[in-house]
């Protein structure tokens, strides 16, 4: 590919011409798999001129445009200007010794048309340069052979018409443990997929979450305050499209809504994100099937000297998931009913057999559901792993999706979480442990029974753990509830003084101007982080086995909190639900 490297300013509208090997490379030093071993670079200069793409003098002049002649000679029409300077009213070439005079300035460009011929390395004028006239864009009018016509795909022939009718495409990931062509599964993919060698809890990747960014309207359509984003303004608002199980070999095959930009996140057993946030959006057309080998090392985290693998380009690395070893037999130590074709991933096998009836294995869910369909008790020498589910229907508070989507997923289903509507009700919920008589309160586990500024008698107190979970407007930011600010932002420790709460003050550094002693508040770190559920250990650790709050929140409630944090902990995730500015 012929291209022009041109900065936006400081180079007199010009730059340098380069040839980029787009077929053999995906980055400057990263070849595609078919070109493996090539040293590169993928980009080379068109001419031998000393052209510089930084402000200042460019001894080899600069190019404003390039256009190849498709006549088999590799000649290129170019718009080029000589490098010149102005000194004492004189125009001098940059090769002049006077060009280094501090009083010399870059002269206006004099672009004209030339013919670059790589066969002999010459550049001949087509139009003589003319002061006051610039030819910056060149095009050759010449006959060209029409490229082959790419016919429109035909439903039922080129793609699955049923998928198109559902307005979905299919995403197939061969293994989330495939990281830029390296097997990152503990013990390797073939060992981890074998139920005789590994249980489900030994597999780090258990579920895939499919997310989408929320489009934000112009202010003329909906003007809302930035406080709606909470602590994650840079991420914007996000919706969740659904969840899918990750098979033992790390593979996934799942339906996704067509025409919707989406990202994917790898989760652990508890539904918490273990992969970096996916900031490269994918998109499928109705009926389209896209297969990728696996995941990528995030930019900036590659080992020294190792190039970055780019998204959106197939054929960069070979898949490290070998797939099924034979045809007509199950994967080692798995149930015989799931018989595989050689090379298939577990997700392919499961979906192929499922589609003999209803293709239910391809359907995502708004719930996080696990069932061990693979372990053969006799062959593996152990019982199948226990099933479990985190369902919105188990919530005693409002669910962030509608009932129809909880019953059956469709391409229109969305999970939209708002802090005041879905998180605050968790703290407000009455959680009393009653005696067998159904009346006597044995224990009050309600969040506000401890985490509020007044006790049951209405007396002022310091909230337990310096954490106030009440749903009143915050004095720090009236657009947020007190609980949100306390959970997500650094706060000041408080004490009761003369019947009122006030910040605790301790001696601080001397005043830099007067030298007098100062008093400063005591900071209290937030319990949660917009960085995700795993970055919010101060909160979740209390609800784990042996923690001070073990059993206080239901598994479905902990899942809701985790997914909300994983997508950024936004206050609102719908601009039309956020209060207008």
Q: Which of 155-164, 227-236, 334-343, 507-516 has the lowest mean pLDDT?
A: 227-236
Interatomic CA distance for residues 215 and 315, integer angstroms? 32
pLDDT value of position 489: 95
Adjacent-strand bridge partners of 5: 16
Q: Where are the alpha helices (DSSP H) in 536-579?
A: 537-540, 555-566
Residue 288 structure tokens:
């389209």
Interatomic CA distance for residues 126 and 113, integer angstroms? 5
Tens digit of each residue's pLDDT (9 = 90 or more) over 266-323: 999 999 999 988 888 899 999 999 999 998 876 555 554 455 555 567 778 889 999 9
Could you tell me the pTM of the whole model?
0.86
Q: What angle do CA 414, 345, 307 make, to 5 degrees?
A: 80
3-state DSSP assignment of residue 392:
helix
C-alpha to C-alpha distances, 132 to 58, 86, 108, 112, 127, nearest whole angstrom: 21, 15, 9, 11, 14
Tens digit of each residue's pLDDT (9 = 90 or more) over 166-183: 999 999 999 999 998 899
Alpha carbon dihedral 336, 340, 345, 351, in 10-degree steps, equals: -80
pLDDT value of position 68: 93
pLDDT value of position 155: 87
Structure confidence at residue 189 as a pLDDT band (50, 70, 90) = very high
Interatomic CA distance for residues 381 and 383, integer angstroms? 7
- φ and ψ at residue 295, rounded to 5 degrees: -115, 180
Interatomic CA distance for residues 298 and 530, integer angstroms? 19
Interatomic CA distance for residues 356 and 258, integer angstroms? 23
Tens digit of each residue's pLDDT (9 = 90 or more) over 318-340: 899 999 999 999 999 999 999 99
Tens digit of each residue's pLDDT (9 = 90 or more) over 403-454: 999 999 999 999 999 999 999 999 999 999 999 998 898 999 999 999 999 9
Contacts 24+ apart (CB under 8 A), 197-201: 198/248, 199/382, 199/385, 200/248, 200/269, 200/370, 200/372, 200/385, 201/269, 201/385
Phi-psi region of 198 (alpha: psi -120 to 50; beta: other; left: phi over 0): beta
Residue 424 structure tokens:
């605050």
Q: Where are the alpha helices (DSSP H) in 21-62?
A: none
pLDDT value of position 311: 56
Tens digit of each residue's pLDDT (9 = 90 or more) over 457-500: 999 999 999 999 999 999 999 999 999 999 999 999 999 999 99
The CB density around residue 35, as the number of other CB atoms within 10 Å, is: 16
- φ and ψ at residue 369, rounded to 5 degrees: -130, 130
Tens digit of each residue's pLDDT (9 = 90 or more) over 98-143: 778 888 888 899 999 999 999 999 999 999 999 989 999 999 998 8
Mean pLDDT estimate for the chain: 92
Regarding predicted confidence, which is higher, 457 or 401? 401
pLDDT value of position 12: 87
Tens digit of each residue's pLDDT (9 = 90 or more) over 37-89: 888 899 999 888 899 999 888 999 999 999 999 888 999 999 999 999 988 88
pLDDT value of position 501: 95
Return the half-sphere exposure (C-beta side, CA atoms, 13 A cut-off) of residue 143: 1
Interatomic CA distance for residues 385 and 246, integer angstroms? 14
Kindly tell me the sign of the dihedral angle through the C-alpha atoms of 295, 299, 301, 304: positive
Give the residue carrying structure tokens 């080692």.
Answer: 332
CA 183 to chain centre: 21
Structure confidence at residue 96 as a pLDDT band (50, 70, 90) = confident
């Amino acid at each position: 590919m012929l291209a022009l490297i041109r900065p936006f300013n400081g180079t007199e509208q010009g730059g340098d011409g380069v040839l980029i090997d787009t077929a053999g490379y995906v980055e400057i030093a990263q070849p595609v798999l078919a070109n493996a071993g090539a040293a590169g670079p993928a980009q080379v200069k068109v001419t031998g001129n000393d052209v510089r793409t930084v402000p200042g003098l460019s001894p080899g002049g600069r190019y404003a445009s390039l256009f190849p002649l498709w006549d088999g000679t590799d000649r290129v029409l170019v718009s080029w200007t000589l490098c010149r300077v102005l000194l004492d009213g004189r125009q001098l070439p940059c090769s002049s010794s006077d060009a280094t005079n501090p009083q010399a300035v870059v002269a206006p460009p004099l672009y004209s048309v030339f013919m670059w011929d790589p066969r002999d390395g010459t550049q001949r004028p087509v139009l003589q340069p003319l002061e006051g006239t610039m030819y910056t864009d060149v095009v050759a009018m010449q006959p060209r052979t029409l490229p082959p016509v790419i016919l429109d795909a035909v439903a039922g022939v080129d793609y699955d018409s049923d998928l198109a009718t559902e307005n979905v495409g299919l995403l197939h990931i061969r293994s989330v443990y495939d990281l830029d062509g390296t097997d990152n599964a503990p013990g390797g993919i073939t060992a981890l997929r074998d139920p005789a060698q590994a249980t489900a809890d030994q597999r780090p990747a258990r579920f895939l979450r499919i997310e989408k960014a929320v489009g934000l309207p112009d202010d003329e359509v909906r003007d809302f305050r930035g406080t709606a984003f909470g602590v994650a303004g840079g991420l914007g608002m996000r919706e969740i499209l659904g969840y899918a199980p990750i098979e033992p070999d790390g593979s996934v095959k799942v339906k996704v809504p067509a025409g919707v930009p989406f990202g994917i996140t790898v989760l652990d057993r508890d539904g918490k994100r273990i992969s970096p946030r996916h900031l490269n959006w994918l998109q499928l057309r109705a009926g389209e099937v896209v297969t990728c080998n696996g995941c990528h090392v995030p930019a900036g985290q590659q080992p020294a000297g190792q190039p970055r693998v780019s998204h959106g380009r197939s054929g960069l690395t070979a898949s490290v998931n070998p797939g099924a070893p034979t045809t007509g037999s199950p994967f080692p130590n798995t149930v015989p009913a799931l018989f595989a074709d050689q090379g298939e991933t577990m997700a392919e096998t499961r979906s192929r057999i499922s589609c003999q009836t209803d293709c239910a294995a391809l359907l995502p869910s708004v719930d996080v559901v696990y069932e061990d369909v693979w372990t053969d008790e006799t062959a593996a020498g152990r019982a199948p792993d226990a099933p479990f589910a985190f369902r919105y229907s188990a919530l005693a508070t409002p669910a962030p999706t509608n009932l129809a989507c909880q019953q059956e997923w469709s391409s229109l289903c969305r999970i939209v979480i708002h802090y005041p509507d879905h998180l605050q009700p968790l703290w407000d919920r009455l959680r009393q442990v009653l005696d067998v008589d159904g009346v006597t309160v044995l224990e009050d586990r309600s969040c506000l029974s401890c985490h509020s500024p007044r006790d049951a008698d209405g007396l002022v107190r310091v909230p337990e753990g310096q954490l106030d979970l009440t749903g009143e407007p915050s004095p720090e930011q009236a657009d947020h509830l007190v609980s949100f600010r306390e959970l997500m932002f650094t706060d000041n420790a408080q004490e009761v003084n003369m019947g009122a709460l006030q910040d605790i003050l301790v001696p601080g550094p001397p005043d830099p101007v007067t030298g007098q002693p100062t008093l400063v508040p005591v900071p209290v770190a937030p319990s949660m982080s917009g960085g995700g559920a795993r970055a919010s250990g101060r909160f979740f650790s209390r609800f784990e086995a042996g923690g001070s709050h073990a059993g206080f929140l239901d598994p479905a409630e902990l899942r809701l909190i985790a997914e909300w944090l994983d997508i950024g902990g936004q206050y609102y995730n719908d601009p039309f639900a956020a209060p207008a500015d």
